[in-house]
Every structure is written in structure tokens, then in C-alpha cells.
Amino acid sequence: MPMDSSPSSNRRPRLSLGPILYYWPRERVLDFYAEMLETPVDVIYLGETICSKRRLLRPEDYWELAERIAASGKEPVISTLALIESEGELKTLQRQCADERFLVEANDLAALEFLEGRAFVAGHSINLYNQRTLSFLAERGLERWVLPVELGRETAADLLGSRPSGVECELFAFGRLPLAYSARCFTAYNRNLGKDDCQFCCGDYPDGLLVSTQEDTPFLNLNGIQTQSATTHNLLPMLDEVMRLGVDLLRISPQSRHSAAIVEVFADCLTGDLEPAEATARLRSYAPSGLCDGYWRGQAGIAAETGARRD
């Protein structure tokens, strides 16, 4: 596949809404997406990416939501599990990939076997770190990739500088950083429960379970088998350089409160109606443990140049 040699521009990136990472009641999920249809977000990702035990919505439910999203003029994408551990999960993955109506976000490379050369999105949990991997996936139908959150501006610039023609780049721009996945459910372990008898306790934490240090400093956030950052990653202050690099989409990760307001802040910033500094001041009020941006700047992820922890 030929390489795109066109120079980077200040073309305005589109806004995407990542899949819900937490365990919310069914009606809450449906109400959330109804609200998101009224926002200026362009792409909406749907599906369970964390734990297959969270079955309040079936694949059919997500496909129905995707049809509504498409009818509203927005682009739906079906997201898959990030950690495949069982035959049952593999069969569900196969079902998701067999439906050709919607683009699929592959969060585990097992999806490639079922996509059979169809266009797909590589999620941030795919270890896409270099040009060789980018070209390999592009030959197999890659349409878009989400830069792994631990990578920064230098790697982004390198990949964008010689990406295959027609392949889009998406950045995780706002939300608690997804740091790791484990076969063990840490939310259940916190209650002395096993993963097989978790009692769905993650449902008690609509934004995950905060873990602080002995000095009472927010450190990590537990979300079932996923470990997240406690602070909220925010790339909006870097909007000018992101646009110069030619990034195509900025991803906002859903949270239980204020997601619509966060989307509006990003949209106002993209149209020039709001300056990044003022926008970040507003976003800080939606990040209870503070903001971070260290990974993008090549530092520790928890580092914060643009938004320290609130008192």
C-alpha cells in the first residue's frame, strides 16, 4: 500500500466517543446514547470491551443502537473485548465480526481472523508502536488506529509522517487512561470475592474504584479487570500541535456525569469559540482527581503540565 506523503495540515479533527468502559444499568446506557445523539460528536463506539460477564446489553442491542446512530448522521463502530480468555468470548467476537453492516474496532488481534480483510479500527489496546506494524495491519484492512495511550507526540509524529494512504489516526484525548488488563478482577478482589463469583460489584462504581496512596493522593482506578489512571488524561491544550500532525479524530471516553458537556467544550474549542486554556479550566471541574498529560510529552503518564490536582 502506498505511503501518504502529503504534508500535515491544520485540518480540524473530528470528535469520537469511545465505548463505555464501566458497568452501567441497561436503561442508563440507553439514556446515555440518546443524549449523545444530541451532541456534536461525529463517531460513536459501542460495545463491551472490558468483561464478558457484563451482559445487560447483547450484540443485537448494540446493533440496534448502531442503526439509530447511523440514521442520525453519525458513524457507529462496534467495539470488541480487549482480552479474550474463553471459547465463549471467541464465539461472541466471531458473531460481532460476521455482521458487515458496521465498522468493527478490534481490541484484540484475534478479531483479524474473523474480519477476513474487511476494513477495521485498531483500538488502543493493540500494540501498534511502529511503521512495520502499521503497514502490516494496513495490508489487512486497517482503516483507522487509536494510538496506544502510553505513546507520545514523537511516536505519533513518526507514524503519521509516513502512514499508509487512507489510514486515519485517532487519539485518546480525554478520560481516565486505560493502563492494563488482567485475568484477575481487582474490583472483586477488593471485596474478597473471586472473579467467578464477583456479584457484579463493579456496578457499584459507575466511574471505577479509586485507589489512593497512603498520603491520600489519587493513584489508580480499578474497573474490573482493567486498571486505569486516577487522573484524567486531557490533550485539549495540545490542540494546535495535534492538528499540525494531521490527527483525524479525538476520542472522549464516557464517564457517568458531564460527558455531553465535555463534548461541547471540545467542539467549541475546535470551532475556535473557546480558547484551549479556558477549555481546560472548564474540563478540570469534570475531572475529580485532576488532569494529566505526561505520556504525550514523553514523561510519566501521571505528570500534569496543564492541570494539577484540585484541592
Q: Could you read off the pLDDT of 245-300 as tens digits, one per residue? A: 999 999 999 999 999 999 999 999 999 999 988 999 999 999 999 999 999 999 98
Portion of the chain with pLDDT greater than 70, in percent: 95
Q: 229 φ, ψ to 5°?
A: -75, 150
Mean pLDDT across the stretch 19-26?
A: 98
**One-letter identity of residue 253:** S
Q: Is the pLDDT of residue 83 over 50?
A: yes
- Cβ–Cβ under 8 Å, residues 250 and 229: no
Q: Which residue from 221, 237, 211, 234 is spatially nearest to 291, judged by alpha carbons? A: 234
Q: Using an 8 Å Cβ cutoff, are 143 and 165 in contact? A: no
Residue identified by cell 503519521 is 160
Instruction: Please report the pLDDT score of residue 46 as a whole number.
Output: 98
In a domain, 66, yes or no: yes
Res 49: pLDDT: 97
> Mean pLDDT of all residues in the chain?
93
Do 108 and 79 touch, CB atoms closer than 8 A?
Answer: no
Say what the pLDDT of residue 20 is: 98
pLDDT of residue 305: 76
Q: CA dihedral defined by 234, 122, 256, 261, rounded to 10 degrees? A: 50
282 falls within a domain? no
CATH number at residue 260: 3.20.20.70
- Alpha-carbon distance of 123 to 171, in angstroms, equals 10
**Residue 5: what pLDDT?**
34
CA-CA distance, 35 to 48, in Å (whole number)? 19
Residues 6+ apart with CB under 8 A from 53: 198, 200
266 lies in a domain?
yes
pLDDT score recorded for residue 306: 54
The range of the structural domain enclosing residue 55 comes to: 14-176+232-277
Q: Per-residue pLDDT tens for 47-67? A: 999 999 998 999 999 999 999
Q: What is the pTM of this model?
A: 0.93
- Any domain includes 204: no
Q: Does the pLDDT value for residue 307 go beyond 80?
A: no
Residue 199 domain flag: no
Residue 62 located in a structural domain: yes
Strands of the chain (E only): list them: 14-17, 43-46, 75-79, 103-106, 120-122, 142-146, 168-181, 209-212, 218-223, 226-234, 249-252, 291-292
For the chain, the first-to-last Cα distance in angstroms comes to: 51
In this structure, is residue 118 part of a structural domain? yes
Contact in structure between 32 and 191 (CB atoms under 8 Å)? no
Residue pLDDT, tens place only, 154-212: 999 999 999 999 999 999 999 999 999 999 999 999 999 998 899 999 999 999 999 99
Q: How confident is the model at residue 45 (pLDDT cuts 50, 70, 90)?
A: very high
Total domains, the chain? 1
Q: Does 308 have pLDDT greater than 90?
A: no
Residue 202 lies in a domain: no
**DSSP H or E stretch at residue 15:** strand 14-17
